[in-house]
């Protein structure tokens, strides 16, 4: 039976990307200690993780450097201070948002950088700008991916056009991004098939970045794997905006490639994630995120609700329904 075969064996093409700093930084304004980042780097290398994302290449013209930790900006020196020349098998990525990155200036030639991959995040209506960023990064020598956000609200016909545009571009990988955590597994399988068709046609890898609003981030990730998706985002203990992401500890527990090792991840969580949670940094599945996810809405209202320590869920749900 094909399904058993796929769960017993592994595809060497699968690559795991740790997005703890980048998506987790949205929870704490990138205010991580250097020890946290250093230990995360070591844990990822030991765990066999394929890529570690250090944060955003955000524009210092737009964002105040005094209001965010350094991983919002990912200066070359900041990364080198942690990884040196990165003499490991793990590659390094950063994310660049359309409209929030001075990419022509801030992204230097890959020969001069310790970064290996630029991931361009875009909404579907800014695809030409995203492709310009991708071509710029590609011409500088980087691996590139495009992460199309908020697709659960996009029209299918627009999606088809966007995927064709990306297919014809130089991008190496295209990510399915469930920004609102609203996608159910059977929908994820259909989406994966749609993206994989483009991937096959244009020789692109397909990736997935899931959110956990309905406790489906891990399920959606492994369902996408079952269809042929190879680039998998995860974060330590789900750390990420709102309900967080697919947990690294769940994902590495599932993947059968013997290169992956769960122990360094468990040690990292014990040493760094538990204290972070105890210090009051809040993320993860909770009722308000379920409600925005279920309604296919941005989690910002749920983040505010949680920050205000409210628990009037029924009132909140009514309010969400009325603004739809």
List of residues contacting a second copy (CB under 8 A): 1, 3-4, 6-7, 184-187, 189-190, 212, 214-220, 222-223, 226, 237, 247, 249-250, 253-254, 262-263, 266-267, 269-270, 274, 285, 287, 290-291, 294, 311-314, 317-318
What is the distance between the alpha carbons of residues 65 and 74, in angstroms, rounded to a whole number? 11
Q: Report the DSSP beta bridge partners of residue 173.
A: 145, 205
Backbone angles phi, psi at 217, to 5 degrees: -65, -45
Between 100 and 194, name the residue whose CB sits nearer to a second copy.
Answer: 194
Least distance between a second copy and beta carbon 305 (Å): 12
Q: Which is nearer to a second copy, 170 or 270 (CB)?
A: 270
- If the CB atoms of residues 10 and 313 are measured against a second copy, the closer one turns out to be 313
Min CB(18)–a second copy separation in Å:
17
Q: Compute the least distance from the CB of residue 167 to a second copy, in Å.
A: 23
Output 4 or 66, the one with its CB closest to a second copy.
4
CB of 20 to a second copy, least distance (A): 15
Which tokens in the block code for residue 202? 């244009």
Compute the C-alpha angle 40/45/49, nearest 5°: 95
**Residue 76 Cβ vs a second copy, minimum distance, rounded to whole Å:** 34
Which CB, 186 or 322, lies closer to a second copy? Answer: 186
The least CB distance from residue 238 to a second copy, in Å, is 9
Measured from the CB of residue 126, what is the shortest distance to a second copy in angstroms? 28
Nearer to a second copy, 26 or 266 (CB): 266
Backbone angles phi, psi at 49, to 5 degrees: -60, 145
Nearer to a second copy, 214 or 235 (CB): 214
Q: Among residues 5 and 67, whose Cβ is nearest to a second copy?
A: 5
Ramachandran class of 233: left when φ > 0, alpha when ψ lies in -120 to 50, beta otherwise: beta
Minimum distance from residue 34 beta carbon to a second copy (Å): 23
CA gap 161, 145 in Å, rounded? 17
């Amino acid at each position: 039976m094909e399904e058993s075969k796929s769960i017993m064996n592994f595809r060497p093409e699968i690559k795991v990307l740790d997005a703890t700093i980048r998506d987790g930084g949205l929870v704490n304004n990138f205010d991580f200690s250097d020890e946290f980042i250093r230990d995360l780097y070591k844990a990822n290398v030991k765990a066999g993780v394929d890529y570690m994302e250090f944060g955003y290449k955000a524009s210092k013209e737009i964002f105040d450097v005094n209001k965010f930790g350094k991983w919002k900006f990912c200066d070359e020196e900041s990364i080198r201070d942690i990884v040196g020349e990165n003499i490991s098998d793990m590659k390094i990525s950063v994310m660049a948002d359309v409209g929030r990155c001075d990419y022509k200036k801030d992204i230097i030639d890959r020969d001069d950088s310790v970064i290996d991959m630029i991931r361009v995040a875009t909404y579907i209506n800014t695809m030409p700008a995203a492709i310009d960023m991708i071509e710029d990064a590609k011409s500088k020598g980087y691996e590139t991916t495009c992460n199309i956000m908020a697709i659960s609200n996009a029209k299918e016909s627009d999606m088809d056009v966007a995927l064709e545009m990306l297919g014809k571009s130089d991008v190496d990988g295209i990510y399915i991004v469930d920004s609102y955590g609203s996608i159910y597994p059977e929908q994820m399988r259909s989406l994966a098939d749609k993206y994989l068709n483009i991937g096959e046609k244009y020789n692109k890898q397909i990736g997935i970045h899931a959110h956990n609003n309905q406790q489906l981030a891990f399920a959606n990730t492994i369902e996408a794997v079952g269809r042929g998706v190879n680039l998998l985002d995860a974060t330590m203990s789900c750390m990420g905006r709102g309900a967080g992401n697919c947990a690294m500890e769940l994902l590495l527990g599932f993947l059968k490639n013997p290169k992956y090792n769960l122990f360094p991840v468990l040690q990292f969580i014990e040493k760094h994630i538990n204290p972070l949670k105890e210090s009051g940094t809040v993320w993860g599945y909770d009722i308000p995120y379920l409600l925005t996810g279920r309604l296919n809405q941005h989690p910002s209202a749920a983040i505010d609700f949680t920050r205000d320590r409210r628990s009037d869920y029924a009132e909140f749900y009514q309010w969400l329904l009325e603004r739809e």
